[in-house]
Structures are given as structure tokens and as C-alpha cells.
Structure 1
Amino acid sequence: MRVFARLILLVLLSCCFVPGRSTLRARAVPTLSEWEPGLEGDAVSRSARSQRLLRPGAGFYARSVTVTLPDRVRYTLDGSTPTKASLLSEGEITIRKTTVLRYAAFNADGKRTSPVAGATYFIGEPRSRLLTLSIGIDPWRLFDPANGWFKPGYGADPGHWKQPGANWWTSREHPAHLDLIEPEGANNERSVFSGTTGFRMFGGMSRLHPQKSFSISARKKYGEKRIRHQLFGKNGADSFKFLVARNAGSDWNRSYIRDVLLTGLLQDESWDLERQAGRPVQVYINGEYWGIYHLREKINARFLSDRHPEVDKDKLDLIEHEHTVKQGSIGEYQKLRSFVESKDLSNPENYRRLGRMMDIDNYQRLQIAQTYFDNRDAGGNIRYWKPKTAGSRWRWILYDVDQGFGLHQEEGYLRNTLEFYTEANGPAWPNPPWSTLFQRKLLANTEYRRYFVNRTLDYLHTDFAPVTVAAAIERRVAALEHDMPRQLKRWKGKEKNWRIHLDRIRAFGENRPAHLREHLREYFGAGGDRMVTIVATPGGYIEVNKNIRVDEERYKGTYFQNFPLHLRTVAHNGFRLSEANSQVVKRSAGPEGYALDLNAERSYHFEAAFEPYDHPLIDQVIFNEVCPRSKASGDWVELYNRTEETVDLTGWRLTDHHHETRLPSARIDPGDYLVVCRDIARFRETYPFAHNVIEGLPFGIDKKREKLALYSSQGAYVNAIAFEVEEPDTAYVQALVLPGLDNTDVRHWALQSGEGTPCAANPEYLETAVISRQGYWLRIGVGVGVLLLVGLVRGMRGE
């Protein structure tokens, strides 16, 4: 009987067991004492480990500073590389003036046993509002009279203006210490990089200036393979292998801002041109102030592959000037040039064939920018590239534009640059015949000519509008104003000359649009002016000339009588063009858009109104589970069909904050699931029993903050979710608690550890069902147990 009683007790206990809800703890954020500045978790190189041993680190100090070094290391204070004969550390040294400290460990045999590390200590230096770039390098490498790269050396030809044979024409690289320190406020700076990099001379004729340009290379053999910091703002890249410190090129000792200003004017999304980001910096070399430079990205294969992840940096052709091969080969470009030389591009078929060989729109936008800038060096100083893959096309890079905006002429805005870029028999420099060939031949084509004129006018109303350019100029001037007196003193420049060139730039920005408009009218016989007003309501935009977008703002522009505008209305996902619009607008809604003829002498008004657009199955096909983090399966989303009919999702649109993709052939049966994954091989290996899976997620899901939406093939809204979580340190999913709940309410979602349950009920739903079923059996079990216990007691009493 006792055994029987124990059995009953075990049954009762098992019925009372309820599985605990999984808890997922986010990664703890280390305190300052636990996390050393500048290091990323465990990914610390030997170079970085050596770097952090200095206390305090690189930075600005009001007075002398005592630095703690590792014991028994050899160090230098002049930027040179430590050797076994360098000073021996006994723990602390005092730095009394701006100094680059470098050190390394050596064994008894004099062999270096650690990477070279170091830091720059700025003692009593004037405050700057610029990023500080400090170089520590063997002094002989730059300043030795015979071999120093900043010196002409003994092989230079002093009788030739280019000084051929001078040391600065070298292409070799030398290791150098680099510190990058961000200005964080009036009395606070932040070191964002400190380590060894490669140092090279950089530039063309600008190497003749006493303040010389140079480039920086991050390589594994020196330490860090990348400089990891958002050097060019929150929208710029956060990792760099190559950088250039540019001395302003032809604009040196003039305005210092032309190149970075002009490339920075191209702000509209329609500018499909590779171009360098840039910002001003103050440079020190071996502790000596070296002046203002502009930090720029370096144009090479890595620059291109960083911007185009689908491009293999080792499989592309990169050419500069007429036929200088920087990487790859020139054979494909020679075929392109031969085609342009030999074919009549006014023929539509030849023009289409050319469009398969080169990106015509990309080239045209380069020509528009150079024509507006009046860049007098663009004829020869150009770069162009093409991946070595089937179907790829040649593209051009906007580069080195500092000879624009009136560099050599006070009223440069008057120049007719159209004639300059279409000169068939120009001199060897600056506009030889080969450099104007493409533009001359392309302008024979009616379509190219129309878009060249209209897009130029587009930009004269937007990025090149006088008020826009004036604001950009003043931002650049303001960035340098505080530091310019020190720069001018360092290189014996005159503030008056600097101010003259700034005023010349301002005048160019103010006056260029009016004169360029007249050049266009005269060159192309464009006819009279026509005022055009374009308006788009929220929910879509109007595309003008397959170029700029008018989105929720009234746009006014003056165009030419003889050049029709190309207009196209585009509704955002979840909206459609309102039925109330005119026939003109409706005709513009097709894939080809609408040509608006401007022949009549009047003003033109074009308006498009958009309205919300919901699908009949709104919130019936829903997001049910999302996996933003799984090393095993990769990212995936699960959709659930609440309806009683099979739904065809072929061509439906799946979006996040920045991306959109169309689903391939896909269906969901009633009450069933569909998983859209990023890597179907990995997914199948992790979930071999998932039954309805497609590969159609080309973008990753943000692990901390994301918004996902589903639209029909026509853009009708179906469902959307958003979440924001503290990122866990293990695999997890976001799952809808119950399939009937409103999935747009964040309270109805649960964060679950593990790999999730794709193509099946969610963990929370399963757990709820189990608990419910256990409650049912618990009630039965308790009842049965009570009856048995009553019977047992009665039996023991002999009843």
C-alpha cells in the first residue's frame, strides 16, 4: 500500500510540472575598468596588445606628461624605428614637447620580438577643430639630402620644371607609425587609431610643392589590416585599407578647398558616379606641425570593390589618362574606343550596342559635372574601370577636379566649357582629341543629347543652384578658418591670396548657372525658356528625366522649348496613383513614363496625387517568426497564412529599412507556413524537415532594430512588423506568441533563445498549449488521487 501511495504522489508531482519559460540575457556591457579603450573584444592583434601597454596613450596634453612603458623595451623619440641600439626603457619617461614615441622588445641576440608600437604626445599644441593625423617615420626616409623622399636628391634634373629623377617620384612604401585623433570638444580628444601602416608618396605634379601629399596603407604585415573608424561621417564607410592625405593639388596655396568642395556638391541620389569622400585634417610628421591636408579615400581596386561588394578586386581593369593601366589590362577598353571611333552613334542600334559596353548614364553625369565645374584638367586626368565579368560595362570615376571653379581665371564662370570638351583638335594638354572623343561622338545621338541638356538643367536647379553651392562653400571655409593662419604661416602663404580665391569660388557658384544655361542654348539651339512646376503628394514621387526625384515638395525649374521633359510617376509601396489625376499623369505611370512637350509658349504644371493601397488579404498573410541571428542557418523569416485559401506570393515584395526584394515562385496553403531564407543550403542542413522553404532573402536582418514589410506584386500593403531589442549573444528568434494575435503589436512577440521552429507552431504557442493540456490532466490527476487516497485511508481503518 505504501508503494501505491508513493506512485500516486509521483503522478501528482509530474502533473504539477510546468516547463519554465526560456530566459535570454543580453551581453553585459563591460565597465571602463573591464574594457580597454580602442580594443574590440577578443579580436586584438599583437600590435594592438603592444599598443595598449602605453599609459597614458596618444593625445593632447597641456604640459609635460610622464609615460609608462613596458620594462626593458627599446624606444625612440624622433619617429625612427627602434633598434637594439635604441634607448632602454626602465619603466617611465617624461615627454616635454610634441613627440612620436615608438618602442619594441628585443632579445639578448638583438632580434626584435614584438611589433613596433607607439603613440604621439602633443604637448602644449594649439587647439584645432580638425581631425589630427600624426606620422612617425624614420627621419632619413623623408629628409636625407641624398635619398629622402621629401628631397630632390642628387639625381633630379633642376633644368626641367618637372625635375625628373627627383626622389619624390618614387613608388616605394615605408613603414610608419600613424595616430588619428578626433576633436571631441573644447578640451577633449579621442584617439581612433594608433599603429603601424605603410607610407608612400602620392600625386602628380603636386609632388613639386614643398608640402607633399602622401598615402597610408593598412596591411597585415604592419599590424592592423584595416583602419576601422567612420572617418567621413555616419553615412560613410567605417573601414579603410588605403587613405590619401592630399595637399590640395593644383589648389595648393590658393583656396585649399576646390577638390573636396566640388566632389562634395554631388549630393542627389541620381549621381551614379564613384567619388572620394573627404575631410580636412591637420598633419604632424615626427612631432612637427606639417599643415592642413584633406584626407581622401584612395582610388584603386579596393576602393571599387568596397563600393561594389559583388566585384572581385583582383578581377577588374582600372585605367587612367589615355591608356595607363593601373590594374588588369587595356584590351577591352581598346575595343570600346575602337567602336566609338568607327561607329555612327546617331544610329539607335549602334547607340544600344554601345550601352552594352559602357554605362552611358554614368559617363554622361561625369561630363555634366566637369562641364559645370569648368575643370580644365579633366581632359587628361580621368580614371575608368570595368569588372572582368560577363555583361559588365565600363564606368568613369570623378577624380581630381581642383582646376575648376576659376583656378586660373578670375571670371572662370564665363568660359564655354561645352566647346572645350568637344574640341576635335585640341593640344596635347589639357584637351587632346582622344579625351573629347566620347563626348563628341555621343552628342550626335538625339537621346543622349536630350538627356545631357535636361539633366544639366536639373542639377542647375538642385545641387548646382547658387544658394546650395553658396552654403556648401561656407561650410568648407568655416571648417578651415580657425586653422588657416597656422597653415599659411607654416608654408609662407598669404591670407590675402587665400581670401581672393575664396571670393573667386563664391563668384563662380553664384554666376555659373546663368552662363552655362546660355552656352547650352547656343550650342544646341535649345529655344526659349519654359517654366515647369512639378508637385507630388506623400506616397510617391515624380522622376524627372530619369534623373532627379520630386518627392513631397514643389519643384520649379526653367527648361528649354526644344527639349521635351521625361516624366514618370512612381508610387511607394503601400500607395498607388490616385484616380483623380489627369490623363497626362496616368500616361506617365507606365514603365516608360511620359514625354512632356514644351513647344507652347506658356508655363507648365504637372501634379501627381497618391493614396493608400491595401491588399484584400491585409494582415491575413503575416510575419510569424523572424531569425536575425543564427550561425547555423543564417537569417530567415517565416510567413503564415491565416486564410482558408491557397495564396500565390510569386513576385510579392519583401522589404526592410534599406532593401527590397521580390519573392520567386512561392505559395502558402491555408493555415500553413512559408520560410524565406538567405542561404538555403545552410537552412536545410539545420532544419531538414522544414517543408515549404525558398531562397529569396538577399539582405540580412538587423539584429537590434528592424522593420520588415510585405507587399503584393503591385505594391499593395499586406503586413508589417518592427522590433527593437538589446542584442543577445546567442542565436535567437522573434516569434509571435499566438497565431491569432495582432502581429503588428510588439507586445504580442517574444524573444526566444535557440534556433526557432520554422514551418511549425512557434515556441510560445507550443508552450501555451502544453501548459493548457497539463492543466487538464492535472485536474483529472488530482481528482483520481483524492479518490485513491480516500480509499487507502478507509482501507487502513478497516472500513
Structure 2
Amino acid sequence: MKTTSVRSRLLLPVFLVTLGLLTCFGALLFWKFRNARPASAIRQLRINEICTVNPGTAIDEATTYEDYIELYNPTDEAISLGELWLSDNPRHCDLAPLPDKTIEPHGFLCIYAVGSEGGSPEGQPSVPLSVSEGETITLAWKHQSESGITTSLLVDSVTLPSSIRPGAVYARTGDGGPEFDQLRPTPGSSNQDASSVPEAPVIETASGFYENEVAVTITAKKGMTIRYTLDGSDPTSDSPEYTVPLTLTDPSKNPDQYASRTDITEEDSGYLPPETPVDKAVVLRAAAFDSQGGVSNTVTATYFLDFSEKEGYEDAVTLSLVTDPENLFSSEKGIYVRGALYDNAIDAGLIYNGLPWSFLTDYTNYYLEGRSSERAAHVQLFDASHNLALSQDCGIRIRGNESRHFPQKSFTLFSRKKYGKSTFDPVLFDTDISYPNLILSCSRTLKKAFFFDLVADRDTATQRYLPCQVFLNGEYWGMYYLMEKYSAEYLAGHYDVEQDNTLLIKDTRYVEDGDYEALQNYRDLRDFLSQADFSDPENYAELLTKMDMQSFIDWMCTNIYIANTDTKPLGGNVLTWQTVTPENDTEGDGRFRWILYDLDDSLGVGTDLATTPAYAFDSFTGHAVYAALGFLDDEPMPALMKNEDFRRQFVLTFLDLANENFRWDRVKALLDQTAEQKPWADKSWDRWNAAPETATFDEELQDLHTFFEHRAEYIIPMLADHFGLEGTLADVTLTSVPADQGSVVLNTITPDLDNADWTGQYYTDYPITLKAEPAEDSEFVRWEITGGEIANGAIEDSEIQVRLDGDTRIIAVFEKK
């Protein structure tokens, strides 16, 4: 038998067996692959609408501001989401598993993208993703077999544009279809009902101050219809159509639309609107309309005409605040008026005329709070030379407590991404800080802002501010203070700390900014303050690791000196802050610090000023009728007063403030500067005081003048009495030192010695601390002391302590290198 024949007969069965095995294996692979494929309906599921900045959408009777990803089921089958995932990273499509939900045939489901720390609206599905412009959002199916084999498939993918217009979502123009556009939100319903958000028109003529009249040109994309308003309202399809340049003239003689209202405070308040029309600017608002019913966002401009002929605006910063009148003055949603809440409560007998404001907080629109009380607006700020410095959309809310019922109300301004920008442009206060929020505080009292100027250099935070003349929807609304708002951004900007590492607490229990869990840090401090015996040096040393004692003492001494009756260091109307994780050895060291806040009730408000003038009020232990205790009797002062180091630091700091920050000639100079606001303030007073409610600007200046001229002679002996000082009050004179030689630090102050000697008064009970700081090309040589003696250090040491035996003169001797 031939060898070739035998091999052929042997290979045939091997071939047949191999073919059978391969066939079986192929069948197994086929069935495995088939079983690992998603159902046809799942492969047709589509990402239908993506909201990156929710402007506020309705869920039942609530409003949510969480972003979302809407899915659409175009099939006739219900689809389970059990093996589906969403992601904002195309390389990792399985970042967020979808909840165990079902989308009905031709149905919609919103998945809320709440980020790593957010919370979805109650009862709504969510994923821990954040969706942003420019990202790619994927929907993927992933299956794991019983044997552990994982199979995945990309179901849908949508790349968001780099810029989405405020108020718009990125959505399919036809549900499940291939085309996308920027549409109005329709979460949970068909996109067929959504209108587009076309590009806004451009007002080519700049906002600003003009003489006589101004011709205004508006442009838009071809095919768009431009409509405009002149009363602050958002343009609608019924608004006038723009066809040719508008010629605008001064409307000041026209009847008031908003300044004439009387429903902006209680019926029996006695408030009377202005007797003659207020000054007015022209507010122009425009929007573009397309043929399909799409409406652009509104653009706004403000024109001040012939204002060189009007009094009260020379060199004044001017602010125009514009919002649809319904947002402020409608009975149902207007946040500036009593509104339907009040009317309904009167009809129901829940309230009646004559009740104090504190009984009406639940029954007036202007006491509404939170996101539901925020209204869209546009703010424009013109500097003292009338150049446009800021122009952007924002949100506004009424702010304050008692002041909400004042006719001239204060606002908080919010810059949010949904309005176009997350922060206001950094053009304010010369800080280079981009603020997310600003305060527009009514100028009812001058002192609320003035005190910040006096202690801006101290270790307690203060707010910078700009007096400005405000126009609301084009009508003069009075002088306001545009102010910094304390926030994480404020702390990061002023103290060079990490914004995400700060904790800001209001009234000892509300977290204004930061992680709520970190509030426990403050609770631990309070517990330690209430439980420890600070006569024990070890306990006091431990306390100094938890709180910045100089910041606390600066806060206390300032409030006591100005006789603030509406704050407590561990109570109401106080802000405290810390860096949660220590960053450095200065303000970022993790210790708690204090912030000056709400100084309206200074100068002894709430006390019997008829018998005891404000400057003679003992604010160490005295208090207003609505308070139970004075500063020294309230926590934590009784515990701290047991420690001698604390008492010494407090006494010397108080005298430092009295001798330098509150020194009469310094205060008088600042009051003289503040008097330059008189033309603006007088105009504002005339606007709001047809039936006089508040002191005039001159009267307020005089009150401050009188208070500070006499305060030291009363409050300094009170300091000695309450701290048991037995020494005498001695003059300390520092001899003049040219600035090019050096400077001298006295305790916590650095007096100006460049041109003249400096004199302050200190009790002889405690030695004072002196530190010589030579200029760059100089060196410190020695101290020359007359009337006192060195208690610690040597005559050639740059830092010493001096015991006062009586009036003392001290000379710091420097020499050029």
C-alpha cells in the first residue's frame, strides 16, 4: 500500500472532526455574541437635550436649577436603563450608571447631572456628572456575562458647542433626529414645542451720557426682526419694531411710572412718593425674533441725556439697574412690593394695619427669600468720569432684615453662568477680585459704610464700597453703596488663600460659603470657649491655636468704641471664617477670624439717647433694650477676662485704636472727605423724604462729628474701670523719623512719623511694645527714652517693651548704611 493513500485516509476523519469542532465553537461564539448584544430598542435610544446651565425649570410646583441630560425613546417598546451608562469622557464611557428606570415608548426621561456633591430634585433620577460646554456626552450599554466577560457598545454621543447662549439648551430640533440647535428648555417633553434662541441683536450706540439727543442704531442677523421697549420690560412680539435709528431725548419731565408707587412699604408707613417727576434716563431693551417664533436674549443700553444740566451727579459714580417691571412691581411676582401676599392676608384677617414690620415678614413679597425670589436683571456701572465700566446680566434679590420694609430697599446682585458670566468683571474697588455677588445697599445711614474706612487696616475684615447714584428702570432711585459681599472669593482675594479651602459662617450657625461639615470646627471652638478655664496658661495657649486673638480683639474693640448695639461675638450679626486646612503661617493658618458686619445700629441705637448721648454710652456693659447683655457680660468675654495676657492685649489694642484709628483729627479729616458726597446724598434724601423719615446727610455728619470728638474722653475711663486699671493715663510721644530712615511700630499700630511727632495716651499698668523697622538703606542704632524705662530687651534691640513711669518721649535712632 502506498504511503500517500494511507495518509489521505487518515486525514479525512481528522478534518471532519476538526470541522465539527470549529462549527460548534463558531455556533457558541455566535450565540454568545448574540446574547451579548443589546436589544434593538436600546440601540435606538437617544440623548435628546442637554442643559449645561439650568435657568430654572419647573418640576411639578417646584423649580430646579440642576443641569440635566434628557433621553428619548423613539421605539414602540419600553426600555429598561439597567445596563446603560452616561459619561462626560469618551475614553471612559462607563462613569455613571443610570438608575433602574424605564422609559416608556416615545417617552422622555430627565437625568439630572448633579456633580460630585449636588443633589437631584426630590424623586428625580440623577448621575454624579457635571455637564459643561465643549464636552462630549456619551450613552453606552455595558453587559457582563455569567462567566465575567464584559461587552460594551456606544449607543449615542453628543458633542456640546463651546458656547451656549444664556437660557438655552443644546437639543435635537426633532425628537431623536439628527439636527441640533440652541433651544429653550423643554425637560421631559417634546422638543417640537421648543423655540430656538437666536443670536441677540447688537445696540451699536454705546450706553453713556449725551447732550441733547442721541440717535441709536440696532443691528441683527439677516432675516431677523428687531423689537424694542423703553420702559425696562423685555421685548415681546407686540413690542414696537425697529426699522430706522431711534432718536432719544431726555424723558425726565415725563410722569413717573415706578417712583410714584406707594405699595413698596406698609400702607400705614406714612411714606409719600416724590411730589415732582424724578430725573430719568432712557432704558432701551431689544431682542431679535425669527420667523419660527424664536426669540433671542434681551440686550440693554442706558442713555443719560442732558445730565450736565442736572444737580447731584457731578463726579458721581452712576449705576443703572434694569429688569422687567413685573419682576419688581407685579402683585404676584414683584419682589419690591407688598403684593398679593399682603392683600390676601389682610382679607383673611391674618394681619391688619399698624402691625410692626417684624409681624409682616410672612405676608409681604419683599420678604421673600432664596432662589425663588431672584429675578433676572441687567446692571451697568459708569465711573466718576461717566465712562462705562461694567455691563452685564445678573440676578437680583431684595436683601436685609428690617430694611426690607424701607421704601428704598437694598439689593444683592448675583453673577451666574445662567446669566452669561459666573462673576462680575474685576473692575471694582481696585482689588482685582472677580466677585460672584455684590451688595447694593441703600444709603439710609452713612455710618454703615463710614466705619469701614476707619479700621480698614485692622485684623478684622471690612468691606470696600462705592457711593453711587442709582437708576431703577431708568428712574432715579437714590444714592446707594455698591459694596463687596463677604464670600469665599472675597477671602481668597484679600488674604491670598485657596478659595475652596475657606469656611465662612454667619451668625455662628449658617454656612455662607464652604463645606457644611466643617461647621463642626466652629462648634468645637465654641465648646472650648464655654468649658475651659483660661486662667490656666496651657488652656489659653491652646485657644490661641484655634482663634486669631488679635482679630477677635480688633472686632470687639471696634464694636465697643462705635457703640454697636446689634451684634455679639458669638451671636447674631457676626461673620467668622477660617481656612479649613492650614496653608501658611498668616491668615491661612486655620484659626478662626472675625469680620465686621452690619453696623447700622452703632452710635447707641436702641438705648436712651435722650438722657445719655451716644458718645457717653458705656458699651462695655450697656446694651440696647432688645438685647439682654453687654459685650463684657456675654460669652466668651467672662471666660477670657480671667486671663491676664488677654486683658493686657485687649487694653493695649483698645488704646491703639483710640489713639490712631479713632483719633479725632484723623476722623475729622475722613469726615471732611466724606462731605464731598453731600450733593449726591442730598438729592437722594429729597427723593425719599417727602414725609421725612431719616436724618439729612448734614445731620448724620454732625452726629458722627459729635460722637468722635467726645468719645475718647468718656470711653477710655470706662475701659480703666471695667479692666480694673490702677495706673495713670500717660502721654507717649514718638519723635519724628523721616520715612527714608525707617518706621516705628507701637503695639499694633504704625504711626506716621515722617513729618511730625506723634502722641497718644496709655495707662501705666501695662508696658508698651516698640519695634524699629529700618528702611532698606538704613540700620537701627538705639532707643532714646525719657520718662520711662525698658522692661524687656536692651537699648540697642530693635524690639523692646517700655514701662511708663509718666509722660514718656521715645526716639528711634537710625543711621544710613
1:183 maps to a residue whose letter is: A
Alignment counterpart, residue 732 of structure 2, candidates 532, 541, 545: 532
> 1:405, 1:459 → 2: CA distance?
17
1:386 maps onto 2:598 in alignment? no
* Partner of residue 681, structure 1: none
Shift of residue 299, structure 1, vs aligned partner: 1.5
User: Aligned pair 1:195/2:392, yes or no?
Assistant: yes
Distance verdict in 2 for CA 1:420–1:323, change over 3 Å: farther
Are 1:514 and 2:514 matched, yes or no?
no
> What runs of 5+ residues in structure 2 fail to find an aligned partner?
1-161, 167-197, 252-280, 343-350, 583-588
CA contact (8 A) 1:64 1:123 kept: yes
| Distance in structure 2 (CA, Å) of the matches to 1:550 and 1:467 | 13
Q: Is the 8 A contact 2:460 2:551 kept in 1?
A: yes
2:251 aligned with 1:93: no
Q: Does 1:357 align with 2:546?
A: yes
How far apart are residue 405 of structure 1 and its match?
A: 2.6
Give distance in 2, aligned partners of 1:196 and 1:588. 62
TM-score, normalised with respect to structure 2: 0.62
User: Which residue matches 1:278?
Assistant: 465
| 8 Å Cα contact 1:385-1:395 kept in structure 2 | yes
Residue of structure 2 in register with 1:368 after alignment: 557
Please, which of 58, 64, 73 is the counterpart of residue 207 of structure 2?
A: 58
2:750 paired with 1:548 = yes
Residues 280 and 557 of structure 1, relative CA distance in 2, 3 Å threshold = same
429 and 301 in structure 1: CA distance in 2 versus 1, 3 angstrom threshold = farther
How many Å separate the matches in 1 of 2:654 and 2:424? 38
CA drift of 1:381 comes to 0.9
Cα shift at 1:454? 1.5
Q: What is the alpha-carbon distance in structure 1 between the residues aligned to residue 239 and residue 407 of structure 2?
A: 31
> 1:522 & 1:471 partners in 2: Cα distance?
31
Deviation at 1:474, TM superposition (A): 2.6
CA contact (8 A) 2:465 2:483 kept: yes
Contact 2:438/2:483 (<8 A) preserved: yes
Is 1:436 aligned to 2:634, yes or no? yes
- CA distance in structure 1 between the aligned counterparts of 2:326 and 2:289, rounded to whole angstroms: 23
2:384 partner SS = strand
Whole-Å separation in 2 of the counterparts to 1:309 and 1:261: 26
CA positional deviation for 1:244: 0.9
1:568 to 766, 771, 780: 771
Please report how far the alpha carbon of residue 342 of structure 1 lies from its aligned counterpart in structure 2 after TM superposition: 0.6
CA distance 1:580–1:439, shift in 2 (3 Å): closer
Aligned counterparts of 1:399 and 1:336: Cα–Cα separation in 2: 21
2:424 alignment partner, one of 227, 240, 244? 227
Q: Shift of the alpha carbon at 1:359?
A: 0.8
Pairs within 5 Å for 1:181-580: 181-184=382-385, 189-228=386-425, 230-232=427-429, 235-237=430-432, 239-248=434-443, 252=444, 256-267=445-456, 269=457, 271-312=458-499, 314-327=500-513, 328-329=515-516, 330-379=519-568, 380-390=572-582, 391-407=589-605, 409=609, 411-420=613-622, 429=627, 431=629, 436-492=634-690, 494=692, 497-498=695-696, 499-526=698-725, 527-535=727-735, 537-538=737-738, 539-549=741-751, 551-552=753-754, 553-578=756-781
Separation in 2 of the partners of 1:385 and 1:416?
29
Residues in 2 aligned to 1:217 and 1:146: alpha-carbon distance in whole angstroms:
22
Q: Give the Cα–Cα distance (whole angstroms) in 1 for the partners of residues 717 and 498 of structure 2.
A: 41
Q: Please state how far the C-alpha of 1:412 moved relative to its aligned partner.
A: 0.3
2:783 and 2:810 in contact (8 A); partners too:
no
User: Distance between the aligned counterparts of 1:323 and 1:495, measured in 2?
Assistant: 34
CA contact (8 A) 1:61 1:124 kept: yes
State whether residues 140 and 147 of structure 1, in contact with CA within 8 Å, keep that contact through their aligned partners in structure 2: yes
Quick one: structure 1 residues 352 and 572, their matched pair in 2 at CA, closer, same or farther if it must change by over 3 Å?
A: farther
Q: Indicate the percent of aligned positions where both proteins have the same amino acid.
A: 27
1:82 Cα deviation from its structure 2 partner: 2.8
What is the DSSP-based 3-state SS (H/G/I as helix, E as strand, rest coil) of the residue aligned with 2:435?
coil
Q: CA deviation at 1:550?
A: 5.7
Alignment partner of 1:118 is 2:315: no
8 A contact 1:215–1:242 mirrored in 2: yes
Q: 2:285 matched to which residue of 1?
A: 102
Mapped to 2, the partners of 1:238 and 1:361 lie a distance apart of: 26
Of 373, 377, 380 in structure 2, the residue corresponding to residue 179 of structure 1 is 380
Q: Normalization by structure 1: what TM-score?
A: 0.64
> Following the alignment from structure 1 to structure 2, what is the Cα–Cα distance between the partners of residues 295 and 493?
26
Aligned pair in 2 of structure 1 residues 151, 430: CA closer, same or farther (>3 Å)?
A: farther
Corresponding position: 1:587 with 2:779? no
Shift of 1:281: 1.0
Partner of 1:141: 327
Aligned residues of 1:202 and 1:215 also touching (Cα < 8 A): yes
Q: CA 1:335/1:88 → structure 2, altered by over 3 Å: closer, same or farther? A: same
Change in Cα spacing, 1:548 to 1:451, as seen in structure 2 (3 Å) is: farther
Which residue in 1 is equivalent to 2:803? 597
1:69 counterpart letter in structure 2: I
Distance 1:451 1:204 in 2: 35
Q: Which has the higher contact order (CA 8 A, sep 6+)?
A: 1
Deviation at 1:291, TM superposition (A): 0.9
What SS does the aligned partner of 1:66 have?
strand
Hey, what's the Cα distance between the residues in 2 that align with 1:457 and 1:226? 41
- CA drift of 1:434 comes to 11
* SS of aligned partner of 1:473: helix
The CA distance in 2 between the partners of 1:333 and 1:597, in whole Å, is 38
Contact 1:280–1:480 (CA under 8 A) maintained in structure 2: no
Q: Is the 8 A contact 2:779 2:815 kept in 1?
A: yes
| Contact 1:321–1:382 (8 Å) recurs in 2 | yes
Distance in 1 (alpha carbons) for counterparts of 2:215 and 2:661: 51
CA contact (8 A) 2:434 2:489 kept: no
Tell me, what secondary structure is at the counterpart of 2:765?
Answer: coil
Cα 1:531–1:308 shift into 2, 3 Å: closer
Structure 1 436/199 Cα, relative in aligned 2: closer, same or farther at 3 Å?
A: same
For the 8 Å contact 1:257–1:476, the answer to whether it is kept is: no
Seen in structure 2, the aligned counterparts of structure 1 residues 308 and 482 have a Cα distance that, compared at 3 Å, is closer
Q: Give the secondary-structure state (helix, strand or coil) at the position aligned to 2:534.
A: coil
| 2:217 aligned residue | 68
CA separation in 2, counterparts of 1:261 and 1:493?
26
Aligned counterparts of 1:279 and 1:104: Cα–Cα separation in 2: 32
| CA distance 1:556–1:433, change in 2 (3 Å) | closer
C-alpha distance in structure 1 between counterparts of 2:356 and 2:809, whole Å: 61
Q: How many residues align?
A: 547
Distance 1:285 1:588, change over 3 A: farther
> Alpha-carbon deviations, 1:97-118, whole Å to 9, x = none?
23211122232222234x4321
**Given residue 604 of structure 1, which amino acid in structure 2 is its aligned partner?**
T
Q: CA deviation at 1:238?
A: 5.9
Please say if residues 461 and 596 of structure 2, whose CA atoms lie closer than 8 Å, have aligned partners that are also in contact. yes
Secondary structure of 2:660's aligned partner: coil
Query: The residue matched to 2:339 in structure 1 has which SS?
Result: coil
Structure 2 distance, partners of 1:364, 1:340, is 15
The CA distance in 2 between the partners of 1:558 and 1:517, in whole Å, is 10
In 1: Cα distance, 2:200 partner to 2:562 partner: 45
- Paired with 1:446 and 1:357, the residues of 2 have a C-alpha distance of 19
Q: CA deviation at 1:518?
A: 1.1
8 Å Cα contact 2:730-2:762 kept in structure 1:
yes
Distance in 2 (CA, whole Å) between partners of 1:257 and 1:385 is: 27
Preserved CA contact (<8 Å) 1:543 1:550: no
Gaps of at least 5 residues in structure 1 are: 1-42, 614-799
Where 1:87 maps in the other structure, the secondary structure is coil
Judged with a 3 Å threshold, the aligned counterparts in structure 2 of structure 1 residues 61 and 204 are, in CA distance, closer, same or farther, namely same
Measured at CA, do residues 202 and 579 of structure 1 come closer, stay the same or move farther in structure 2, by a change above 3 Å?
A: closer
Partner of 2:816: 612
User: CA offset at residue 292 of structure 1?
Assistant: 1.2
